[in-house]
Amino acid sequence: MTMVRTGDWIRLINMADDPDPIPAGSTGIVTRVTEGTLAQIDVRWDDSGRSLSLIPGMDQFEIIGRGDSNAVRVPRAVYEGIFRGFAAGGD
């Protein structure tokens, strides 16, 4: 399992299904992580100042710095699956 925590610094790789997506390459700080079937990773994006959530398994991102609190596990298949799809040219 990959841990995504409040306070982690992330970089967006792709946000395919949003009508007004955050640009790829944007960085932000995780402000909240929810679990369950409607899990979301809330992020305050650095460049735009927007707050927009990521959806684990749909949105592609990488953790580039670690925070300390509120760790939530994201299934490895979800986390790694998004990178396999990205590497194969999938959106």
Q: What is the pLDDT of residues 10-56, one digit of tens each?
A: 999 998 788 888 999 999 999 999 988 888 999 999 888 889 999 88
- Per-residue pLDDT band for 83 (boundaries 50, 70, 90) equals low
Q: What is the pLDDT of residue 2?
A: 65
Residue (of 63, 60, 56) closest to 83 by Cα position: 60
Which residue type sits at 62?
Answer: E
Q: What is the pTM of this model?
A: 0.69
Q: Domain 2-87 classified CATH 2.30.30.30?
A: yes
